[in-house]
Homo-oligomer: A and B are copies of this chain.
């Protein structure tokens, strides 16, 4: 983690870094999945920071791996956004009870995502087992022929 001085990136670079396309990034902005890049005059280029690249990487990962619509994904990520908000609040309070409460919510959001991931994993595991069973079966028959 080098202390990259907050470089500002253009949409094409961000697309490359995140494995998407400029069109996809604009579309996500259009539907509110990404915030509109700050105070841009009509026709001027969009400018992104590393933080936004991270956000898009996370969106893409969840989009590809869980089977959610962008609307469902949006709700899940609102939770993420809420977490970021909470972290800001967190830094502004010294009260341990308040800090614990904020961290508790954090845990809940992570838990929601973990559950979705685990459900998917279970389905994939089942598919893998089925395929391996077939594989074993074919191999056994092959071995019988060879004997």
Contacts and interface: CB of A to CB of B under 8 A. Distances in A.
Secondary structure of the A side of the interface?
helix
The count of identical subunits is 2
Interface stretch (A9-17, A22-30, A41-49, A113-121): A113-121
A111 B61 CA distance: 25
Interface string A107-147: 10011011001101101110110011011001101100110
A128 B113 CA distance: 9
Nearest to A104: B142
Interface residues of A, number: 35
A103 B138 contact: yes
Interface of A: 61-62, 64-65, 67, 96, 99-100, 103-104, 106-107, 110-111, 113-114, 117-118, 120-121, 123-125, 127-128, 131-132, 134-135, 138-139, 141-142, 145-146
